[in-house]
């Protein structure tokens, strides 16, 4: 049609008086819409449709406009018709569809569009031809490709040749291969070739065609999967033969180390196993985790496969990297038939795996009663012990497997056999809250008061866990209610700590004494007060407990409750006649503690109960002194309102104003002045508050005192003015402020020194410059041998109190709360001794070295450190660690790496198999059983690993066949985490008291020690399955992560590794302060002589290092405040790195291994705090 004619038609259609009828038809039934669709006149079609033309009108042969446009290949017309609701699957005469017509004529784009809009290629003509069949007949390769690629119903479409391979469609495959663009080794996103697909389905015809066209029979997909692996996994024996005949490598391994024989043995395809063995497959081939084909057969309980392997001389006792034999695996999975076969072939029934687990231990843990009976019948040792001393009865008792416990006892298992910790099966049953097991053990003669290493009884454990039924049961069987541990803790002490009121009540009803004290002299009431357990405290008081009983250092329960700010317990004690006047060993009343800790509610109540606001400690300090020093303005006001003496002097003459001055607490000073405090009171040594504030550089307080007319010329007994003190300490701003307020720079001390001379001797350049222009007095220049002795004002030197129950143990108390004195400082001072001259103190922090002015300048107020340590009361009631944490039975009951009992893993729905039971047995596992038949997917597991997922009739039958023999649930095998780690892996080694860390620390023979990857700190978590938590791996493939995980847990692998310089949970970087006289900086991640904060923590104690040279070095722990390491000057002949690690004696089972050039410290000059023990 010419352009002019085209325009005329459009004009006529739009003319309102046009009488032309849209329904007019030709002799063949063609109307205007049919004709314009055939010719491709899009504008006319649009106009006709807008005028109401019937889009479904058919010719005499049943063809609609869509049929005609598809036949003609007019994609724009087809698209317009479909958008206007034309039916895409309408069938004309003889069953022709628009899709069929487009396919017949080779219009691939039309075919693709129709398929994407719901056209069905399953609709055939009356003679059975489908669109694919007519495309093949016409040789339309492009249309064939489009149809095949749309034939997959999966989320990710496979290429046409792969679909042809799946369908065993020889014609399509042959046609597609005629096009050079279709590579016979073309890959999916997962790296699988058409031959992999054909191997999976056993399609011999297509496989033969592909091989003849040059398909690589050893092509490695991702994870190094070959077609032979696939055929072996799915039991396609003929395909295996075809591949082997075409030179497939029979011992090719996947990235996990799986051979085709592993795949077939794991899946129980005995015919394939036989074929592979006959063709020379290595029967002892191992995966990266040491798995042999026999292990695989044992896991799946494929007895015929196992028999074939044994017939071909496969070793019956081969072990994995975790020392698991096939019998261990069969025991784990409960596969009795395979276990019997192995035992008949003389395998070792007492073989020891990781941690010393025998097959009997494993069967007991997994509740495999029939395997247990079989093993006992074949001579398995019933008293075999693991490395930690666990017998099978210990394991079964802990796991709560009643039938197995009964069976073991009937076979003469001893219920009183101890572990290395001295714990019996009854202890473990109590730890796991296994009431029925406790009852069975007691009925069969278990000792009810059996003692563990720390003298714990099962009753102690049950009391800690708060299990009233277990406590009652043990007491009914004669348990001693007052049994004591090595620290003299009774079950009642433990119940008081845990707040288990019901347990405490049961114990008291059975005669437990509430007056017994621990080794340190504390009663259950002390402990209840410390932890704020008011219900237990109330119960004890109702039962007659003494509210004023004194424990260590004279502390009463009211002292303890006050310190920990448990106001409800404090009020309860006061209501039960507890005395607010009781004093501790250092003279502190509860009000002293409340004032220092700013416990306003408790202080108010104590005052209401007539507590003395002017009570003096042993050194003469009142609560007001403590409140002023800490800067608690409200507390100071409260005390003064209750007639506290604003000018009270301690034995050394310190007033609250002095303490406010040294701490720069201006707000407190204002309140003190308001209530009549003197501005210039003097201590015994003659120091005024102005002296004190100048000494400590507290410029705000200096300004306040000067504004209130403090004397700038006041002198101490040694003749020092405030200006002398400021110059001595190098506080140039204070010096300037004093000079502006008419302080005399010419004042001379008793030994003839001016402020200028002091600054010159100490090297304070800025101070010298300031004073040089105003000082007129000169002094005799001292000789080089003379050393200046620093003088300091008095400070609060209170004797420290501690309610620590475990001083030699491992501290769990934050250093910010309580500080413990160290030996040298406690021995350096008497009750009222004043260290007037810095050099006279024996404390390392108070020693002035002439050559260390730089260090003094950086820390001019070192007395402040001593003063803070001296001034605080430590009420850190450290609970013995063995009463807080359970032994790490989770690690001890692991018999392969990754085995865990952690309940959190089940809650999170995560699971990963490590080593044997979670190894990637087949990288072609089915992932989604919900898809329809004849469905193929490529599903990505992570950035580097993909899985091929097939579901068809064969899969359904295989699922039914294998469901009865899978050692885990089907869901377990289908999880991505079992087949591949993906982006997440095992979360190992959460440190005690910390959130989980992302990585397990590498083992280092210099600073870190572990036994076979056992976590010695993890908390007590158990589940009767093999689920584990997973952690994120930022990069690398899943298998790379598995390799790292396996290697990391092998001590031998890293036996020569370099020292680990990472921080541990015991001492995060922010809680360590490290310095060296060689200039090492403080708290910097970039300091080469310190430890980077971003490094992964180790799992116990602390670990840090620092450099020293001839000038010496020092380290002070702030988390463990009593730990100090000091290397004196001239003791290191060369630059030396000192690596420090704090560990408890119980964790040091073996000597620490050392690298070349390393040595352990062999001489300890001084240990502190009191009670600390040298572990060497």
- pLDDT tens digits, one per residue of 95-112: 888 888 887 777 888 888
Longest dimension (CA), the chain: 137
Nearest to 541 by CA among 520, 507, 514: 514
Most confident of 786-800, 842-856, 1006-1020: 786-800
Same domain, 944 and 986: yes
Give the CATH number of the domain where residue 125 resides: 1.25.40.20
- pLDDT tens digits, one per residue of 1132-1155: 777 777 777 665 555 555 655 666
Same domain, 26 and 138: yes
Same domain, 994 and 1038: yes
Nearest to 61 by CA among 100, 28, 35: 28
CA dist 834 to 227, 687, 795, 797, Å? 87, 12, 8, 9
Q: What is the pLDDT of residue 436?
A: 96
CA 109 to chain centre: 54
The structure tokens 């999967």 sit at 225
Q: Is residue 934 part of a domain?
A: yes
The answer for residues whose C-beta is within 8 angstroms of residue 853's C-beta and 6 or more apart is 762, 763
Query: To the nearest whole percent, how much of the chain has pLDDT over 90?
Result: 46
Q: What is the pLDDT of residue 434?
A: 94
What mean pLDDT is predicted for residues 52-72? Answer: 84
What mean pLDDT is predicted for residues 454-474? Answer: 95
Q: Where does a domain end: 108, 123, 150? A: 150
Q: Is residue 669 part of a domain?
A: no
Nearest to 207 by CA among 150, 175, 251, 166: 166
What band does 234 get if pLDDT is binned at 50, 70 and 90? very high
What mean pLDDT is predicted for residues 583-597? Answer: 94
Q: Is residue 238 part of a domain?
A: no
What band does 797 get if pLDDT is binned at 50, 70 and 90? confident
Query: To the nearest whole percent, how much of the chain has pLDDT over 70?
Result: 65
Q: What is the pLDDT of residue 291?
A: 93
Q: What is the pLDDT of residue 4?
A: 52
Dig out the tokens for 1101 from the structure.
């104690």
Q: Where does a domain end: 100, 123, 150? A: 150
Instruction: Output the DSSP codes for 1007-1039.
Output: T---STT--SS------SS----EEE--SS-HH
User: Which residues on neighbouring strands pair with residue 246, listed in sequence order?
Assistant: none
Same domain, 904 and 1033: yes
Same domain, 1100 and 976: no
Q: Please give the residue range of the domain that contains residue 32.
A: 19-150
Instruction: Please tell me the least confidently modeled range out of 337-351, 702-716, 984-998.
Output: 984-998
The values of phi and psi at residue 612, to 5°, are -80, 115
Same domain, 944 and 1084: no
What band does 1055 get if pLDDT is binned at 50, 70 and 90? very low
Dig out the tokens for 91 from the structure.
């069938």
The answer for residues whose C-beta is within 8 angstroms of residue 11's C-beta and 6 or more apart is none
Q: In angstroms, what is the C-alpha Rg of the chain? A: 43
Q: What is the pLDDT of residue 897?
A: 64
Q: What is the pLDDT of residue 1080?
A: 30
Helix (H) or strand (E) holding 801: none
Q: What is the DSSP letter of 11?
A: H
Q: Is residue 423 part of a domain?
A: no
Same domain, 972 and 1092: no
Q: Which residue has the higher pLDDT, 1101 or 587?
A: 587
What band does 341 get if pLDDT is binned at 50, 70 and 90? very high
564 within 8 A of 530, measured Cβ to Cβ: yes
3-state helix, strand, coil in the chain (%, to 5): 40, 5, 55
274 within 8 A of 300, measured Cβ to Cβ: no
- Measured CA to CA, the distance from residue 523 to residue 329 in angstroms comes to 51
What mean pLDDT is predicted for residues 694-708? Answer: 95
What mean pLDDT is predicted for residues 848-870? Answer: 35
What mean pLDDT is predicted for residues 658-663? Answer: 95
Same domain, 1040 and 951: yes
Label residue 478 exposed, middle or buried (CB < 10 Å: 0-12, 13-18, 19+). Answer: exposed
Q: What is the pLDDT of residue 84?
A: 85
User: Which residues on neighbouring strands pair with residue 1076, listed in sequence order?
Assistant: 1113
User: Which residues on neighbouring strands pair with residue 1114, listed in sequence order?
Assistant: 1075, 1126
* Mean pLDDT, all residues of the chain: 73
497 within 8 A of 520, measured Cβ to Cβ: no
What band does 55 get if pLDDT is binned at 50, 70 and 90? confident
The structure tokens 């009810």 sit at 448
Dig out the tokens for 905 from the structure.
């893993």
- Name the 3-class secondary structure at 10: helix
Q: Is residue 730 part of a domain?
A: no
What mean pLDDT is predicted for residues 298-313? Answer: 94
- pLDDT tens digits, one per residue of 496-532: 999 999 999 999 999 999 999 999 889 999 999 999 9
CA dist 203 to 273, 486, 930, Å? 20, 73, 24
Instruction: Please tell me the least confidently modeled range out of 37-41, 51-55, 403-407, 995-999.
Output: 995-999
The values of phi and psi at residue 820, to 5°, are -110, 140
Nearest to 1075 by CA among 1066, 1065, 1087, 1064: 1087
Q: Is residue 360 part of a domain?
A: no
Cis peptide before 336 (omega within 30 of 0): no
Same domain, 1082 and 1136: yes
Q: Is the pTM for the entire model greater than 0.85?
A: no
Q: Which residue has the higher pLDDT, 643 or 186?
A: 643
Instruction: Give the count of domains, the chain.
Output: 3
Side-chain-side CA neighbours of residue 700 (13 Å): 10
Q: What is the DSSP letter of 325?
A: -
Q: Would you mind telling me the total number of residues written for the chain in this entry? A: 1176
The answer for residues whose C-beta is within 8 angstroms of residue 1122's C-beta and 6 or more apart is 820, 821, 822, 1168, 1169, 1172
- Measured CA to CA, the distance from residue 712 to residue 767 in angstroms comes to 18
User: Which residues on neighbouring strands pair with residue 1113, listed in sequence order?
Assistant: 1076, 1127
Q: Is residue 729 part of a domain?
A: no
Handedness of CA 897, 902, 906, 907 (dihedral sign): negative
Instruction: Please tell me the least confidently modeled range out of 694-698, 742-746, 884-888, 943-947.
Output: 943-947
- Measured CA to CA, the distance from residue 627 to residue 632 in angstroms comes to 5
The structure tokens 């584990």 sit at 1028
Work out whether strand 1124-1127 and strand 1113-1117 pair parallel, antiparallel, or are unpaired.
antiparallel
1113 within 8 A of 1106, measured Cβ to Cβ: yes
Vertex 768, ends 765 and 773: CA angle to 5°? 140
Nearest to 431 by CA among 402, 384, 397: 397
Instruction: Please tell me the least confidently modeled range out of 18-27, 38-47, 663-672.
Output: 18-27
Same domain, 1074 and 964: no
Q: Which residue has the higher pLDDT, 1009 or 130?
A: 130
- Measured CA to CA, the distance from residue 397 to residue 410 in angstroms comes to 14
Whether 337 has a pLDDT exceeding 50, the answer reads yes
What mean pLDDT is predicted for residues 398-422? Answer: 95
- Measured CA to CA, the distance from residue 1095 to residue 999 in angstroms comes to 10
Whether 790 has a pLDDT exceeding 80, the answer reads yes
Helix (H) or strand (E) holding 449: none
- Measured CA to CA, the distance from residue 942 to residue 930 in angstroms comes to 21
Nearest to 386 by CA among 378, 374, 377, 398: 398
CA 1040 to chain centre: 20
Same domain, 64 and 108: yes
- Measured CA to CA, the distance from residue 639 to residue 675 in angstroms comes to 11
Handedness of CA 53, 55, 56, 58 (dihedral sign): positive
Instruction: Please tell me the least confidently modeled range out of 33-37, 409-413, 718-722, 746-750.
Output: 33-37
Q: Where does a domain end: 99, 134, 150? A: 150
Vertex 1093, ends 1091 and 1095: CA angle to 5°? 85
Whether 590 has a pLDDT exceeding 70, the answer reads yes
406 within 8 A of 436, measured Cβ to Cβ: no
Dig out the tokens for 652 from the structure.
């050394």
Q: Which residue has the higher pLDDT, 177 or 548?
A: 548
Whether 1115 has a pLDDT exceeding 90, the answer reads no
CA dist 1011 to 899, 1048, 1149, Å? 15, 12, 9
Vertex 1035, ends 1034 and 1041: CA angle to 5°? 95
829 within 8 A of 870, measured Cβ to Cβ: yes
Dig out the tokens for 530 from the structure.
């410390």
Nearest to 881 by CA among 732, 638, 1066: 1066
Nearest to 660 by CA among 641, 633, 638, 642: 633
Q: Is residue 63 part of a domain?
A: yes
CA dist 221 to 211, 566, 1042, Å? 17, 65, 19
Cα pseudo-dihedral 338, 340, 341, 344, rounded to 10 = 160
Ramachandran class of 846: left when φ > 0, alpha when ψ lies in -120 to 50, beta otherwise: alpha
- Measured CA to CA, the distance from residue 537 to residue 525 in angstroms comes to 6
Whether 856 has a pLDDT exceeding 60, the answer reads no
What mean pLDDT is predicted for residues 283-308? Answer: 93
Cα pseudo-dihedral 322, 326, 331, 337, rounded to 10 = 170
Same domain, 981 and 1025: yes
Helix (H) or strand (E) holding 946: strand 946-951
Dig out the tokens for 1103 from the structure.
């670990």
């Amino acid at each position: 049609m010419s352009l002019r004619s085209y325009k005329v038609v459009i004009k006529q259609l739009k003319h309102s008086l046009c009488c032309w009828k849209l329904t007019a038809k030709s002799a063949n039934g063609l109307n205007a819409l049919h004709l314009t669709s055939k010719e491709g006149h899009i504008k006319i079609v649009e106009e006709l449709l807008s005028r109401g033309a019937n889009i479904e009108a058919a010719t005499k042969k049943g063809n609609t406009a869509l049929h005609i446009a598809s036949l003609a290949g007019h994609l724009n017309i087809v698209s317009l018709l479909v958008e206007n609701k034309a039916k895409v699957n309408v069938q004309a005469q003889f069953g022709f569809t628009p899709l069929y017509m487009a396919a017949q004529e080779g219009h691939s784009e039309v075919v693709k569009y129709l398929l994407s809009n719901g056209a069905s290629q399953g609709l055939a003509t009356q003679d059975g031809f489908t669109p694919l069949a007519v495309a093949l007949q016409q040789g339309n390769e492009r249309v064939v490709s489009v149809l095949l690629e749309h034939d997959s119903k999966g989320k990710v479409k496979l290429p046409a040749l792969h679909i042809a391979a799946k369908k065993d469609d020889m014609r399509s495959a042959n046609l597609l291969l005629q096009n050079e663009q279709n590579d016979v080794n073309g890959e999916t996103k997962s790296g699988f070739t058409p031959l992999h697909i054909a191997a999976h389905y056993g399609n011999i015809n297509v496989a033969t065609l592909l091989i003849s066209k040059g398909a690589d029979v050893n092509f490695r997909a991702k994870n190094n999967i070959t077609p032979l692996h696939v055929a072996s996994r799915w039991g396609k024996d003929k395909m295996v033969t075809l591949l082997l005949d075409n030179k497939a490598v029979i011992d090719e391994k996947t990235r996990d180390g799986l051979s085709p024989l592993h795949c077939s043995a794991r899946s129980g395809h005995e015919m394939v196993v036989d074929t592979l063995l006959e063709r020379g497959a290595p029967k002892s081939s191992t995966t990266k985790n040491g798995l042999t084909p026999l292990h695989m057969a044992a896991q799946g309980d494929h007895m015929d496969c196992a028999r074939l392997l044994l017939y071909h001389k496969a070793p019956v006792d081969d072990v994995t990297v975790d020392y698991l034999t096939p019998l261990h695996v069969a025991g784990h999975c409960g596969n009795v038939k395979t276990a019997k076969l192995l035992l008949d072939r003389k395998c070792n029934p007492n073989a020891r795996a990781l941690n010393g687990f025998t097959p009997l231990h494993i069967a007991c843990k997994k509740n495999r009663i029939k395997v247990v009976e079989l093993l006992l019948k074949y001579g398995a040792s019933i008293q075999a012990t693991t490395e930690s001393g666990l017998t099978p009865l210990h394991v079964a008792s802990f796991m709560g497997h009643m039938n197995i416990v009964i069976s073991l006892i009937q076979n003469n298992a001893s219920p009183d056999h101890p572990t290395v910790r001295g714990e019996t099966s009854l202890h473990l049953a109590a730890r796991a809250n296994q009431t029925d097991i406790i009852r069975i053990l007691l009925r069969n003669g278990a000792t009810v008061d059996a003692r563990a290493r720390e003298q714990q009884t099962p009753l102690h454990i049950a009391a800690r866990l708060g299990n009233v039924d277990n406590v009652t049961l043990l007491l009914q069987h004669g348990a001693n209610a007052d049994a004591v541990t090595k620290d003299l803790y009774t079950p009642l002490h433990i119940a008081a700590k845990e707040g288990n009121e019901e347990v405490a009540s049961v114990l008291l009803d059975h005669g437990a004494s509430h007056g017994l004290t621990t080794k340190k002299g504390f009663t259950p009431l002390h402990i209840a007060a410390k932890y704020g357990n008011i219900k237990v405290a109330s119960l004890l008081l109702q039962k007659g407990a003494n509210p004023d009983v004194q424990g260590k250092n004279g502390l009463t329960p009211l002292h303890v409750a006050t310190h920990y700010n448990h106001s409800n317990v404090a009020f309860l004690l006061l209501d039960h006649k507890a005395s607010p006047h009781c004093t501790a060993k250092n003279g502190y009343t509860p009000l002293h503690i409340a004032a220092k800790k700013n416990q306003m509610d408790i202080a108010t109540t104590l005052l209401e109960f007539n507590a003395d606001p002017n009570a003096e400690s042993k050194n003469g300090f009142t609560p007001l002194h403590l409140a002023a020093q800490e800067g608690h303005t409200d507390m100071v006001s409260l005390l003064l309102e209750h007639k506290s003496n604003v000018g009270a002097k301690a034995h050394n003459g310190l007033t609250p104003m002095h303490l406010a001055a040294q701490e720069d607490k201006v707000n407190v000073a204002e309140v003190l002045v308001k209530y009549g405090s003197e501005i210039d009171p003097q201590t015994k040594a003659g120091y005024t508050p102005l002296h004190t504030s100048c000494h400590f550089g507290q410029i705000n307080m200096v300004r306040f005192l000067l504004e209130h007319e403090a004397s700038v010329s006041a002198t101490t007994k040694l003749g020092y003015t405030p200006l002398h003190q400021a110059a001595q300490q190098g506080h140039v701003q204070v010096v300037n402020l004093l000079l502006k307020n008419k302080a005399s720079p010419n004042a001379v001390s008793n030994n003839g020194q001016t402020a200028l001379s002091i600054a010159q001797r100490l090297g304070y350049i800025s101070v010298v410059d300031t004073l040089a222009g105003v000082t007129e007095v000169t002094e005799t220049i001292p000789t080089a041998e003379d050393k200046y002795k620093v003088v300091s004002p008095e400070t609060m030197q209170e004797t420290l109190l501690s309610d620590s129950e475990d001083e030699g143990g491992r501290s769990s108390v934050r250093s910010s709360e309580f500080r413990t004195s160290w030996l040298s400082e406690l021995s350096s001072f008497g009750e009222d001794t004043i260290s007037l001259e810095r050099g006279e103190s024996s404390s390392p922090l108070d020693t002035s070295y002439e050559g260390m002015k730089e260090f003094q300048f950086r820390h001019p107020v070192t007395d402040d450190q001593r003063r803070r340590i001296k001034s605080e009361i430590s009420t850190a009631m450290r609970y013995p660690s063995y009463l807080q944490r359970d032994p790490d039975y989770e690690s001890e009951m692991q018999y392969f790496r990754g085995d865990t009992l952690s309940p959190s893993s089940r809650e999170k729905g995560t699971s990963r198999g490590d080593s044997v039971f979670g190894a990637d047995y087949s990288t072609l596992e089915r992932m989604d059983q919900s898809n329809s038949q004849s469905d193929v997917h490529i599903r990505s597991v992570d950035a580097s690993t993909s899985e091929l997922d097939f579901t068809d009739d064969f899969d359904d039958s295989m699922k039914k066949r294998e469901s009865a023999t899978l050692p885990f649930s089907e869901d377990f095998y289908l999880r991505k985490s079992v087949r591949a780690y993906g982006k997440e892996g095992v979360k190992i080694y959460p440190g005690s008291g910390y959130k989980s860390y992302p990585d397990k620390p590498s083992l280092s023979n210099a600073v870190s020690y572990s036994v076979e990857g056992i976590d010695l700190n993890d908390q007590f978590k158990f589940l009767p399955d093999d689920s584990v938590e997973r952690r994120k791996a930022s990069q690398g493939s899943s298998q790379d992560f598995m390799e790292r995980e396996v290697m990391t847990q092998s001590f031998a692998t890293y036996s020569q590794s370099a020292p680990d310089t990472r921080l541990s949970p015991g001492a995060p970087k922010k809680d360590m302060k490290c310095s060296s006289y060689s200039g090492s900086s403080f708290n910097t991640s970039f300091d080469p002589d310190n430890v980077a904060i971003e490094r992964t923590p180790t799992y116990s104690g602390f670990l840090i290092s620092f450099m020293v040279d001839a000038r010496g070095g020092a380290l002070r722990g702030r988390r463990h405040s009593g730990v100090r390491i000091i290397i004196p000057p001239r003791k290191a002949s060369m630059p030396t790195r000192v690596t420090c690690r704090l560990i408890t004696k119980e964790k040091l089972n073996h000597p620490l291994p050392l690298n070349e050039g390393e040595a352990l410290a062999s001489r300890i000059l001084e240990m502190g705090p009191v009670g600390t023990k040298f572990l060497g």
